[in-house]
């Protein structure tokens, strides 16, 4: 087999695929699985692209990884949900400025048999303590994502040391929201999830929402332009155009009109 004559077409292929990208106006948005999996971007981005001519490529990973990728300059805009980590990102000079974009809320979901007797509770900390005391399995993201950070903070507030229970009733999946919900449903565990992912999630089985509606389950999303002074290859003009649009009247209205099964998933709250 002589592979040498194939080399030229391959190299041509490599070169064309690289240049094809350079021609079209596009930005890379480092974002979270919760926003992407809910279908929000499939609703929002075509509207923005239509108006601006800028294509937005979404890399959907956990908030921790999204922030790390943006720190490396591998993205132009960051849209995630972990306020303190976002503020640290800006303070350390990786991002220009952080803006509130939208919110939804977290919920605790669990099996319909409700072995920890927490269904319908409004006090998240108390509910988590009851899950811990009953030793009922709880599936955690365990991946340093925005949802995971929120969950860790909630356990702290509840005064439960989950690190010592890791591997027994507290089970860290180390994977994304959907994968963790698959695990939770599979093992009859409780789990913390954002409402958007839950509404769009298709493998719910007979799972129900156990805890919702308390103030400490608020889930704020923020948007940040990666600092072009730090990473000169950041497409600052196009990135800023996207941020201006999503914070403006049109982008905010587009967020509000996205529904799934008749339910609104995200609530715009840019100032």
Partner 1 sequence: MQDFAESFSLAFGLVLAADADLLEIIGLSLRVSLSAVLISCALGLPLGAAVAMGHFPGRHALIVLLNALMGLPPVVVGLLVYLMLSNAGPFGWLQLLYTPTAMIIAQSILITPIVAALSREVLEQLHDEYDEQFRSLCLPPHIAVAALLWDARYSLLTVALAGFGRAIAEVGAVIIVGGNIAHLTRVMTTAIALETSKGDLALALALGIVLITMALSVNAAVMGLRASAARQAYA
Binding residues for partner 1 (CB under 8 A): 1-4, 6-7, 10, 13-14, 17-18, 21-22, 28, 33, 37, 42, 57-60, 69, 71-74, 175-179, 181-182, 200-204, 231, 233
**Rounded CA separation 218/150 (Å):** 9
Beta-bridge partner residues of 160: none
Residue 68 beta carbon to partner 1: minimum distance, rounded to whole angstroms: 10
Residue 168 beta carbon to partner 1: minimum distance, rounded to whole angstroms: 26
Residues 6+ apart with CB under 8 A from 76: 27, 28, 29, 225, 226, 234, 235, 236, 238, 239
**Rounded CA separation 246/254 (Å):** 8
Q: How do beta strands 138-140 and 170-172 pair?
A: parallel
The residue among 10 and 126 lying less far from partner 1, judged by its C-beta, is 10
The residue among 49 and 119 lying less far from partner 1, judged by its C-beta, is 49
3-class SS of residue 77:
strand
Residue 264 beta carbon to partner 1: minimum distance, rounded to whole angstroms: 19
The residue among 55 and 123 lying less far from partner 1, judged by its C-beta, is 55
Residue 125 beta carbon to partner 1: minimum distance, rounded to whole angstroms: 28
Residue 107 beta carbon to partner 1: minimum distance, rounded to whole angstroms: 15
The residue among 83 and 231 lying less far from partner 1, judged by its C-beta, is 231
The residue among 122 and 233 lying less far from partner 1, judged by its C-beta, is 233
HSE-CB for 9 with a 13 A CA cutoff: 4
One-character DSSP codes across 10-28: HHHHHHHHHHHHHHS-EEE
């Amino acid at each position: 087999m002589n592979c040498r004559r194939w080399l030229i077409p391959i190299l041509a292929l490599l070169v064309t695929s690289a240049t094809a990208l350079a021609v079209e106006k596009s930005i890379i948005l480092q974002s979270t699985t919760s926003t992407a999996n809910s279908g929000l971007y499939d609703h929002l981005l075509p509207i923005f692209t239509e108006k601006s001519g800028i294509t937005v490529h979404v890399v959907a990973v956990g908030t921790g990884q999204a922030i790390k990728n943006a720190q490396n300059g591998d993205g132009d805009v960051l849209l995630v949900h972990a306020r303190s980590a976002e503020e640290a990102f800006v303070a350390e000079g990786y991002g220009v400025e952080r803006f509130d974009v939208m919110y939804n809320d977290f919920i605790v979901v669990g099996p319909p048999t409700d072995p920890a007797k927490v269904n319908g509770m409004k006090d998240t900390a108390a509910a988590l303590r009851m899950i811990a005391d009953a030793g009922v399995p709880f599936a955690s993201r365990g991946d340093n994502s925005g949802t995971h950070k929120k969950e860790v903070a909630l356990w702290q507030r509840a005064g439960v040391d989950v690190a010592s229970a890791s591997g027994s009733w507290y089970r860290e999946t180390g994977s994304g929201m959907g994968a963790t919900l698959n695990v939770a449903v599979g093992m009859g565990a409780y789990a913390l999830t954002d409402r958007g992912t839950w509404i769009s999630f298709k493998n719910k089985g007979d799972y129900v929402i156990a805890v919702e509606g308390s103030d400490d389950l608020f889930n704020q999303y923020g948007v940040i332009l990666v600092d072009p002074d730090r990473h000169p290859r950041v497409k600052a003009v196009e990135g800023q155009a996207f941020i201006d649009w999503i914070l403006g009247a049109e982008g905010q209205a587009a967020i509000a009109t996205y529904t799934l099964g008749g339910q609104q998933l995200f609530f715009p709250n840019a100032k």
